[in-house]
A and B are shown apart, each in its own frame.
Chain A
């Protein structure tokens, strides 16, 4: 019985029908602001990574002694690094805002059968951001 079912299967053929897929340009994300915003949000990760590298260099400079650290500080004052950090700052803040605003969609909170408004779910994130920033600045500047 089983054998017959196998036999009933269509024979293998090299002429497989190709699925139709509309060709998409490599620059698909340039057309619309929504898509561009998506790509910019994803690219913010590059600036996250580059600042982590800068911080690793800072820790290494601290480890290597006062002279190495003053060379590191001097390097951060170069116009190129200022420009990079300025652009990085804009991207990183963009990451923070988009990340916080995503939270209510990833984790909708329901209260008595009603969905809590998105800004109410996102608000604690902003509060934590503010408190953490103040605490870190206080530690560093004290």
Chain B
């Protein structure tokens, strides 16, 4: 289980991920999740997106986009389970699943953004 001193570290990740999610996810979700699939706006084609992804800065951006918000989720979701559903007896399991998931997503994001170009 997290000690008091570790808690600050996890809170920093939570906070940074919260900022990234708040500023960046709505526009991404609106464009790629709603506007393009529903035909409200013309979707960029494969070549166009690949030319974007070839820029190193875009790949760093995608890595951050796919990593920090997962740590935001891990922190919030584990406390929702602890307090909301009162499953305190499973603390260790929940902790491992939440941060395990966030770390797995981060590793996958690093691999994909590293090998895509």
Contact = CB atoms under 8 A, between A and B. Distances in A.
B115 A66 contact: no
A54 B33 contact: yes
Mostly, the B contact residues are: helix
A5 B100 CA distance: 49
A89 B29 contact: yes
A53 interface: yes
Interface in B34-80: 34, 36-38, 41-44, 46, 49-50, 52-53, 62, 65-66, 69-70, 72-73, 75-77, 79-80
Nearest to B101: A49
Interface in A68-101: 69-70, 73, 76-77, 81-82, 85-86, 88-89, 92-93, 95-96, 99-100
B76 A85 contact: no
Mostly, the A contact residues are: helix
Interface string A36-63: 0001001111101101111110111011
A133 B22 contact: no
B107 to A, nearest CB: 11
29 contacts: A44-B76, A46-B77, A48-B72, A48-B73, A49-B70, A51-B29, A52-B66, A52-B69, A55-B28, A55-B62, A55-B65, A56-B108, A59-B53, A59-B66, A70-B46, A73-B36, A81-B33, A92-B26, A95-B22, A96-B25, A96-B26, A132-B23, A132-B27, A133-B23, A136-B27, A136-B31, A137-B27, A141-B31, A141-B41
Interface of A: 24, 26, 29, 39, 42-46, 48-49, 51-56, 58-60, 62-63, 66, 69-70, 73, 76-77, 81-82, 85-86, 88-89, 92-93, 95-96, 99-100, 125, 128-129, 132-133, 136-137, 139-141
